[in-house]
């Protein structure tokens, strides 16, 4: 038994270094409502379907209390609708700028394909949003074999496993233990755990790290080690089986997982869960 397929996240994992496109829009629409958010708050639910992301933000104790003070009532589904209606067109307008693949993505995907692996993808974007990102990424040479968005699985996005299952079906992947999911958020790890596949977190370019490429490049060696350790700890505590610094380390990590499979170790018995 060996790994047959890789399911990759989009923003923060394969494109949009630092996952900044949705972050800025979330911050803008809440600020206009009179409830400024911190970047750290915005990033906590990252990777969820964007409507679910808005709901998760409104459920955070500080934000929920701020809404109560501002409007004298609790938020409703109508408020979520209104925020999402503001969010979507703004994100769509800027997404063409955020399709450039992150470092090592194009080369690594080519290498994995040469080894016979299938490449799938999941996301927190809707199909309308991802169609824009996918088109932009393709111009740079990155295109997965198949991708699935939450609205294609009845809006059951992360942490539900259905986007991974749909990728497996379309790509002809037979066994959960032969599939690896790579992502840059806690919701990516939760999605992988829900599906029973191997969960790998990525550090550089991730929403978890939250730095631009220039900021990441200017870290001192000590700062880089500290950040990698902190992000890795969060991934592992969330149930990741492994963490890679960047995409160039993925092929070697897959080899390590293949060795674990040879020893009859399966992803379902995750010691970190």
21-96 homologous superfamily = Putative phosphatase; domain 2 (1.10.150.240)
Alpha-helical segments (H) within 140-212: 162-171, 186-195
pLDDT tens digits for range 182-201: 999 999 999 999 999 999 99
Cβ–Cβ under 8 Å, residues 146 and 120: yes
Q: Is 9 annotated as a binding residue?
A: yes
Radius of gyration of the chain (CA): 18
Residues of the chain with CATH 1.10.150.240: 21-96
Cβ–Cβ under 8 Å, residues 239 and 270: yes
Return d(Cα 260, Cα 246) in angstroms, integer: 21
Q: Is 184 annotated as a binding residue?
A: yes
Return d(Cα 19, Cα 207) in angstroms, integer: 5
Binned at pLDDT 50, 70 and 90, residue 268 comes out as confident
Binned at pLDDT 50, 70 and 90, residue 145 comes out as very high
Q: Is 145 annotated as a binding residue?
A: no
Residues of the chain with CATH 3.40.50.1000: 5-19+98-262
pLDDT tens digits for range 162-173: 999 999 999 999
From the list 16, 50, 181, 204, the catalytic residue is: 50
Helices (runs of H) and strands (runs of E) counted in the chain: 12, 6
Cβ atoms within 10 Å, residue 1 = 12
CATH architecture of 5-19+98-262: 3-Layer(aba) Sandwich (3.40)
Query: Would you say the C-alpha torsion 68, 70, 73, 77 has a positive or negative sign?
Result: negative
Residue 50 catalytic? yes
Q: In the predicted model, is pLDDT for residue 60 greater than 80?
A: yes
């Amino acid at each position: 038994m060996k790994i047959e397929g890789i399911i990759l996240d989009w923003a923060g994992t394969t494109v949009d270094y630092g996952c900044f496109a949705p972050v800025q829009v979330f911050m803008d629409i809440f600020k206009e409502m009179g409830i400024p958010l911190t970047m750290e708050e915005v990033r906590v639910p990252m990777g969820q379907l964007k409507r679910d992301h808005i709901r998760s933000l409104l459920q955070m104790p500080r934000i929920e209390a701020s809404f109560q003070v501002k409007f004298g009532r609790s938020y409703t589904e109508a408020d979520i609708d209104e925020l999402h209606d503001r969010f979507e067109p703004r994100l769509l307008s800027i997404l063409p700028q955020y399709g450039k693949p992150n470092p090592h993505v194009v080369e690594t995907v080519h290498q994995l394909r040469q080894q016979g692996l299938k490449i799938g993808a999941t996301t927190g974007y809707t199909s309308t949003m991802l169609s824009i990102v996918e088109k932009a990424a393709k111009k740079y040479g990155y295109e997965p074999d198949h991708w699935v968005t939450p609205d294609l699985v009845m809006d059951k996005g992360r942490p539900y496993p259905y986007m991974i299952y749909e990728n497996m079906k379309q790509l002809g992947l037979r066994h959960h233990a032969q599939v690896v999911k790579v992502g840059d958020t806690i919701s990516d790890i939760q999605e992988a755990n829900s599906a029973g596949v191997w969960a790998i977190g990525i550090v550089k370019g991730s929403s978890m790290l939250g730095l631009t490429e220039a900021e990441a490049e200017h870290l001192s060696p000590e700062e880089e080690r500290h950040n990698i350790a902190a992000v890795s700890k969060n991934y592992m505590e969330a149930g990741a089986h492994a963490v890679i610094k960047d995409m160039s380390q993925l092929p070697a990590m897959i080899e390590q997982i293949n060795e674990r499979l040879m020893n009859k170790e399966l992803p379902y018995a995750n010691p970190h869960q």
